Structure 1
């Protein structure tokens, strides 16, 4: 049996260490990196990290590998903290509730769709949810139905495609793919997805749609044409 430490080619090993640290949300010890890369030399791991940091400095990279709590973690340089804090705030502002996700999914797959049809599928009023999705520029009013009262029709926006990494609506996963993904995830179903009753349940749907459109800043019809 060969008791000598095993190490892959230097370039391949450095790339492997870099990939592992980029993918990890927590610091990784040299021993853990050895385990993942199937090498036995912690000294090689530390030397490789030093070499990577030297390369990053020479290239003017915005990140480094830092020793933290007995391990190593990829971090951005301190001078970028301010700009990154704005990104974090933007992400916080963009977070969607479960109700918003459900509503957005219905619109994405059934568009153009009436508010009444969305509420029939979800079983609850969704005026506030629709307003929030419009404010986040994920949905828009795409027209009016040619039925009595000409209620508004809702659809997704270009921003929706950007957020979910889609080239177009044809890239949405089909029903069978969604079922397969749900089965693979094997997540326990929530006890109830029904939301508290909307206090405006008794208000006419058409009136609520009109109020919703008036509350949203900007001309939604122009937004519809632009997207």
Structure 2
């Protein structure tokens, strides 16, 4: 089990993105063995003694800075969160809570044009075309991406705050 922990840790470090159980399955170990090992590794890292912890996000696992060491990392590296305008956050929240929907539907909910903003979100890979609406002209349907989940630290869309709390809570991440 110790060797498997080391291998999983090396993969997580090298990947720089969440790895799914399917990714780890390429190692040839049974799924239950991999899950037990990931849980055990997460428990070992939870103390913060290594400076990192294991986080489950976007249907995968990734290494993150342990909360105990965030201040030091911020002091030295000064990481900057992705800068999104108020308009981009509005459109992103509309898409996240109402997907899939067309540009016209986004604009109707927002009350103003979303063309440039939506294009920017697609370019940043936070939103993508997920299909076409069965209507005249076959307008594109938009939805959020895995990068959206990763950026905002969500395991799935089910982790979004309830609507009555307001979509602006996406700013908390």
Give TM-score scaled by structure 2 length: 0.51
SS at structure 2 position matched to 1:153: strand
What number of residue pairs does the alignment pair up? 101
Matched, 1:123 2:150: no
Q: Does 1:142 align with 2:130?
A: yes
Structure 2 residue corresponding to 1:156, chosen from 137, 144, 163:
144
Distance in 2 between residues matched to 1:118 and 1:144, nearest whole Å = 15
> Which structure exhibits the higher relative contact order, with contacts defined as CA atoms closer than 8 Å and separated by 6 or more residues?
2
Unaligned stretches of 5+ in structure 2?
1-48, 52-70
1:111 and 2:99 correspond: yes
Q: Distance in 1 between matches of 2:98 and 2:149?
A: 15
* CA positional deviation for 1:100: 0.5
- Per the alignment, residue 170 of structure 1 pairs with 158
Q: 1:174 to 1:60 in 2, by over 3 A?
A: closer
Q: CA RMSD in A?
A: 2.8
| Distance in 1 of aligned mates of 2:135 and 2:100 | 14
Distance (Å, rounded) in 1 between the aligned partners of 2:72 and 2:141: 45
Query: Which segments of structure 1 move beyond 2 Å, counting only runs of 4 or more?
Result: none
Correspondence 1:100 to 2:114? no
Taking structure 1 as the reference length, what is the TM-score of the superposition? 0.40
Unmatched 5+ residue regions in structure 1?
1-58, 62-73, 183-227
